Structure 1
Amino acid sequence: MVRRLEQGADQEEIRKAGATAAVVDASFSVAEGETFVVMGLSGSGKSTLIRMINGLLTPSAGHVYVDDEEITGMPPKALRDVRQQRMSMVFQHFALLPHRTVLDNAGYGLRIKGMDNAEIDKHAREALAMVGLEGWEQRYPQQLSGGMRQRVGLARALAAQTDVLLMDEAFSALDPLIKREMQDQLLSLNARLGKTIIFITHDLNEAMRLGDRIAVMRAGRIVQIGTSEQILNEPADDYVARFVQDVDRSRVLTAASICEECTALKADVSPDEALSMMHRHDTDRLFVSDGGRRLLGMLSAADCEQALRDGHSVVREAVVAVDDPVDGSTPMNALFARMSRHPVPLPVIDDEQRLVGVITPGKVFEALSREPHAESVGAPAAVKEASVSDV
């Protein structure tokens, strides 16, 4: 069947021959510390994919590597060692042992490794504290809510101290409010721990909230890999475009992705030069940056005129600090209240406090009203880059 697929047979032909091609030509790599989300509808092949990654299923063709070591075809004992030492799994339906306490469940993976009881107790308690279950150690799974049981499953994976977490529809059985709390907790935990996560979901909003990158699967094939913004703005085909058409864009798009170019003054220009630049750009204020594009503040025409009257040769002394610049990672929906308080364009900065652009009401309306359009299948999504021109 593999050869028939390589020769161009489609899924329907394979089905008629009595076989199912669950995953076809899926190739990707996941960076250390990355949350890589695989999403698709039921039957798209995503759960089969994660079972090949952890060695529960052996691919008919192709290879799986963990830290450059191939696990495809490993002897059973070596494969068990990989699962115990490098990869932990969080399941959709918790997979807790009902006759064991919360503490015992959290430390179960360590017990299988043969760790001594004192170390098991220490690491299990630490993991339970991480997920907010301190004080629940002696309860049993049936005494917990669904969300709490999933926290135990997550604690078990964290206690194992593996670098890789595999999460198969881990939150899909939870109520919406509990699901969001678990998503928040996962984001918070991984900001501290830096685990490499492969997260399987059929929920596009969940994928876009959690994933550094997302792989969209259809009929066993990965049709697009990209960031949330790339998939939302540049879907690879009509299938992906239909998937994202009802997504709340304001929750996905960030300030950095919608900001527009701006001209920034250097702090050592004269007041006359600054006024001339404002006139050319038909504005009464500009942002000011240093030689490394780090934001220093804002300068208005009135400030420039006062600097002239005060005899200043450069505008540095007249710059007014910006109290609340916008971090580029800020979701667009968090900007609305801020824009209502600050009618001027909002400066957008990166992690190094460098000015990358400005947010205007026009750019927000444009981003909200934009219709996603499909590119040719397999085409790379365009990445928008804002720029700043220093004067």
Structure 2
Amino acid sequence: MKALCWHGKGDVRCDTVPDPKIVDPTDMIVRITATAICGSDLHLYDGMMPTMESGDILGHEPMGIVEEVGKEVKNFVRGDRVVVPFTISCGHCWFCDKQMFSLCDNSNPNADIARKAMGHSPAGLFGYSHMLGGYAGGQAEYLRVPYADVSPLKIESDLPDDKVLFLSDIFPTGYMAAENAEIEPGETVAVWGCGPVGLFAMQSAWMLKAGRVIAIDRVAERLEMAQTFGRAETIDFTKQDVYETLMEQTNGRGPDRCIDAVGAEAHGTGAWDAVYDNVKQTFMMATDRAHVLREAIMCCRKGGTLSVPGVYIGFPDKLPFGALMNKGLSIRSGQTHVAKYHRMLLQKIEAGEIDPSQIITHRVSLEEGPAAYKTFRDKKDRCVKVVLTP
């Protein structure tokens, strides 16, 4: 089959690789009909994520048609149409029982590697390093799905792929980010990053009865989409001081809830800490550029909440923890418990409350994937979201 494979920093190729096979009786094989490039894939593309190996198949936002099921799979049969969440969950451990699916105890076969880096291992993820399981990803013609009965979502309507594909990751991720922000009706929510997760966090903030949503970015087309799809006020951080603008907009109090939808590769044009991060990262002295995290801590109102769906890799430097403590801030984070949310969010799509396909700017073939990675990373050609069709 054809698949997009990682071969090093900035080097993604469309290779011919062996087709996946049933390994365990709880597996199924899915023929991919649509998949996408996620913003967190760019951390792999940029060489930020450790334990990647040359030839690893990328991708964690897939959907398709069930081709084969293991003998213990009960919920799916050949021909079913499914969305596959990026998190892999066993369905019966202590964490899965509590619907904390991204913290599954059993789905990462390389849990010892993760424990050394994090203290405990989260769930295995599709296409996201050997530390998180070494699973082949979904930017491919076929995908092996372990624990098939647990997390995949059967699509029984005739909704097109474009409308339901993002239930694999970014729509539930944006929703969980807004839920983690603990938004109360009428509150002001600031969202750093107008990429796909940020856009869905904005939509989700309105679903949770926010009174005002303010979006921060520097890319014109993303700010435009924040205004239209996200219905947000916007701040271009290359033209406005974010802290001063937010204080002015909130009468000096600061936003009630702050969402960092950027993560490890934040930019901060001209900011001293962004320059510091870039220098340290250039000389491999730091793992993450944490400008947004620092700025959100400083901007959030006293007693507010900081939600972090943005992916961080290791050890962000120079965090103003004193400000976080003295201001009484709460912070919530985590990979997404997709299966907790995707059925409810599918109902919102089916009811016409939201059309996730509105954020798609580029539709390309799998063979065009390597060029699309570069376009997406460099924010060229007004690229916000890329969908790949094998």
Report which of the two has the higher share of helix: 1
TM-score (norm 1): 0.26
TM-score (norm 2): 0.26
Larger Rg: 1
